[in-house]
Amino acid sequence: MIYVTLLGGRRILLNEKLIETIEETPDTVVKTTTGKKYIVMEKVDQLYDMINHHG
């Protein structure tokens, strides 16, 4: 699990094993295998580092 910050400032835990794609559009959009999408404040590189640190 990794912490991500939603655009409104609320932090949530996200299961990195359920992440299907991450893209910058320019907002960072995380799409999960369950079909949910989260717009987060972290950049793709930050998420990559967090996932590889915990994974």
pLDDT at 41 (0 to 100): 98
Q: What is the pLDDT along the chain (55 residues), one digit of tens a residue?
A: 999 999 999 999 999 999 999 999 999 999 999 999 999 999 999 999 999 986 5
pLDDT at 9 (0 to 100): 97
Domain that holds residue 47: 2-54
- The secondary structure of the chain, three-state, reads CEEEEECCCCEEEECHHHEEEEEECCCEEEEECCCCEEEECCCHHHHHHHHHHHC
pLDDT at 55 (0 to 100): 53
Overall domain count for the chain? 1
pLDDT at 53 (0 to 100): 86
